């Protein structure tokens, strides 16, 4: 199944922001959407790698630099996008990571949780006015069925009592699903569609940077993995749909709805996670 399901020109006039666009799923999604005529805002952490990816894609692309584990950097990114772009049709929250050992960000937050969940939450919140202005628009949160191995424990949300790298990753993906469902409820009637996507097990560098057991498991699964292009397929398909509103609140893989981890459907968990995320990400903005 080709990610480039729509032809050239299908995304003409559309502006798409993709985080983690220098490699893997993010790079492939950015390349496919640019090929359909979209203006793609590539968010990358490393300038050299970002410039290299931008040159490889060509077309109407713009490079934005941000460390998504840093709330200061996220706020600067959002301000730069809002100042420089008159519209935003699609936001793809894709960048993420996994850490074998517990690390803290400059904000004093556990890095996996901060990068994989709070970055999605805060960047979406900051860009929501532009997305609403551009409606009908779309938010795609790249999640993972690894969420089934996670558990949202509000008494130890950041692994202070006990940290296991893989479990922290699974929990962050469970947060992605719960966040998407709560976001979809709150956006009902605004013209902004919110979906989550499981890309599948993708052969990329993801996981290997975590080292140790996580790196070993990443290499072990590589022969059975999808290509990054295959992993990007559902993201690109959603972004290029003439009317993605029919998928509002869905969790999709291979272009079809699937089930997320059971806890993500608990409306009390969704609401409480939202409130905790607001508190950790700073003062809530008027929605």
What pLDDT band is residue 203 in, cutting at 50, 70 and 90?
Answer: low
Provide the percentage of residues in the chain whose pLDDT is more than 90: 85
Q: Is 178 exposed, middle or buried (0-12, 13-18, 19+ CB in 10 A)?
A: buried
> Is residue 222 predicted with pLDDT exceeding 80?
no
Distance from C-alpha of 182 to C-alpha of 265, rounded to nearest angstrom: 9
pLDDT at residue 224, rounded to an integer: 46
> Is residue 42 predicted with pLDDT exceeding 90?
yes
pLDDT at residue 5, rounded to an integer: 52
pLDDT tens track for 111-151: 999 999 999 999 999 999 999 999 999 999 999 999 999 99
Full DSSP string of the chain: --S--S-TTTTTT-EEEEESTTSHHHHHHHHHHHHTT-EEEEEES-HHHHHHHHHHH-SSEEEEE--TT-HHHHHHHHHHHHHH-S---EEEE------SS--B-TTSSBHHHIIIIIHHHHHHHHHHHHHHHT-SEEEEEE--GGGGG----TTSTT-SS---HHHHHHHHHHHHHHHHHHHHHHTTTTTEEEEEE---SB-SSTTGGG-HHHHHHHHHHGGGPBPHHHHHHHHHHHHT-S-GGGGTT-EEETTEE----GGGG-HHHHHHHHHHHHHHTSSPPP-
Residues serving a catalytic function are 169
Is the distance from CB of 203 to CB of 227 less than 8 angstroms?
Answer: yes
What pLDDT band is residue 226 in, cutting at 50, 70 and 90?
Answer: confident
Full DSSP string of 160-204: SS---HHHHHHHHHHHHHHHHHHHHHHTTTTTEEEEEE---SB-S
What pLDDT band is residue 3 in, cutting at 50, 70 and 90?
Answer: very low
For the chain, give every domain's residue range.
15-280
Is the distance from CB of 27 to CB of 55 less than 8 angstroms?
Answer: no
In whole angstroms, how far apart are CA 150 and each of 7, 26, 125, 175, 272?
Answer: 38, 24, 24, 9, 17
Contacts of residue 273, defined as CB under 8 A and 6 or more positions apart, other chains included, come to: 152, 175, 178, 179, 182
Q: What is the CATH number of domain 15-280?
A: 3.40.50.720
> Is residue 213 predicted with pLDDT exceeding 50?
no
The model carries a pTM of 0.91
Over residues 209-231, mean pLDDT? 60
Over residues 258-280, mean pLDDT? 98
pLDDT at residue 6, rounded to an integer: 72
Contacts of residue 35, defined as CB under 8 A and 6 or more positions apart, other chains included, come to: 4, 8, 59
β-pair partners for 87: none
């Amino acid at each position: 199944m080709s990610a480039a399901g729509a032809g050239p020109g299908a995304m003409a006039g559309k502006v798409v922001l993709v985080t983690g666009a220098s490699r893997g799923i993010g790079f492939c999604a950015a390349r496919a959407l640019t090929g359909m005529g979209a203006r793609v805002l590539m968010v990358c952490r490393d300038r050299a790698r970002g410039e290299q990816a931008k040159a490889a894609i060509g077309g109407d692309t713009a490079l934005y630099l941000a460390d998504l584990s840093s709330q200061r950097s996220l706020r600067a990114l959002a301000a730069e996008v809002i100042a420089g772009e008159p519209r935003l049709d699609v936001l793809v929250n894709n960048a993420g990571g996994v850490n074998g050992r517990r690390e803290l960000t400059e904000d004093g937050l556990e890095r996996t949780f901060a990068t994989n969940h709070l970055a999605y939450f805060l960047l979406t919140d900051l860009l929501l006015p532009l997305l609403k202005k551009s409606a009908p628009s779309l938010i795609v949160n790249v999640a993972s069925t690894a969420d089934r191995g996670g558990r949202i424990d509000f008494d130890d949300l950041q692994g202070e009592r006990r940290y296991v790298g893989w479990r922290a990753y699974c929990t962050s993906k469970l947060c992605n699903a719960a966040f998407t469902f709560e976001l979809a409820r709150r956006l009902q009637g605004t013209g902004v569609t919110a979906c989550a996507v499981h890309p599948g097990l993708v052969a990329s560098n993801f996981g290997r940077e975590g080292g140790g057991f996580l790196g070993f498991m990443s290499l072990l699964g590589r022969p059975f993995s999808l290509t990054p292009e295959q992993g990007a397929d559902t993201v690109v398909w959603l972004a290029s749909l003439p009317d993605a509103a029919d998928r509002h609140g869905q969790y999709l893989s291979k272009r079809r709805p699937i089930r997320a981890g059971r806890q993500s459907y608990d409306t009390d968990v969704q609401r409480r996670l939202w409130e905790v995320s607001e508190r950790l990400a700073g003062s809530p903005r008027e929605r």
